[in-house]
Amino acid sequence: MENYSKARTVERPSVCPFSGLPADTPEIRVKDGSKIRNLLRFALSRMEAKPRAAEEEEGGGEEERQEAAGRPLCKHLVFTAYGKSVSKAITCAEIVKRRLKGLHQLTKLLYGTVDETWEPLEPDAGLDSLTVSRNLPSIWILLSREPLDGSQPGYQAPGRYDALWAQSSSREEGGGFSGQRPGHRRKRGGSRGKGPGRQSGHSREPVKGHN
């Protein structure tokens, strides 16, 4: 591809797999350059009755807060992302679930398509333009205040964590896997105790004189 340059990129994201949602359900598309703080501010403003003071300090002006307060609160919220942004969408969903207790979650994994058009660097070289299609994994996360169908694959009940998140929570609360106190570090290079064959550099017995 050294003789080509990328001319344009056309994204064909996957279609929302959640049917029957209200028309006012926010659909937040998380991209690689999106800031988590801005995504969370918008998401919480649509589902939280009283935004916290920290959110208001970071947020916009008085007009923006009045507009958010005048909108009815939503019972559903959708995060979606594809490619490298999938992990960022998961992070946003987990933070929202910690802020707003009792949310039901339904996760779907699909594929989106990206069409890249490449043009030859030299038009007179006799080379044709190329179109490359790539399938990228995408994720759709539905958060709902109302109960969802628990029999569907990808359903997660409120307060339920898989092994990865449970392990991460235990590390945050316990300070580590070994049960150490938070902020406590084991000294390096120190003695681990004196066993039957171990002696320190100086004996505690009195030194006897030499004849």
149-204 per-position pLDDT tens digit: 999 999 999 986 554 455 554 554 554 444 444 455 555 555 555 555 555 555 55
Burial 129-166 (b: 16+ CB within 10 A, else e): eeeeeeebebbbbbbbeeebeeeeeebbeeeeeeeeee
- Please tell me the predicted confidence (pLDDT) of residue 50: 66
The share of the chain scoring above pLDDT 90, in percent, equals: 54
Give the integer Cα–Cα distance in Å for 130 and 203: 82
Q: How far is CA 189 from CA 55, 179, 180, 192, in A?
A: 46, 21, 18, 9
pLDDT in tens, 81-112: 999 999 999 999 999 999 999 999 999 999 99
Give the integer Cα–Cα distance in Å for 103 and 107: 13
The chain-wide mean pLDDT, for the chain, equals 78
**What is the mean predicted confidence (pLDDT) over 126-131?**
90
Contacts of 138 (CB under 8 A, 6+ apart): 13, 14, 80, 81, 82, 83, 86, 109, 110, 111, 112
Q: Are 177 and 171 in contact (CB under 8 A)?
A: yes
**Tokens linked to 182:** 């938070």
- Please tell me the predicted confidence (pLDDT) of residue 126: 84
How is the chain split into domains, by residue range? 4-16+23-35+75-174
Give the integer Cα–Cα distance in Å for 33 and 68: 24
Helix (H, G, I), strand (E, B) or coil at 171: helix
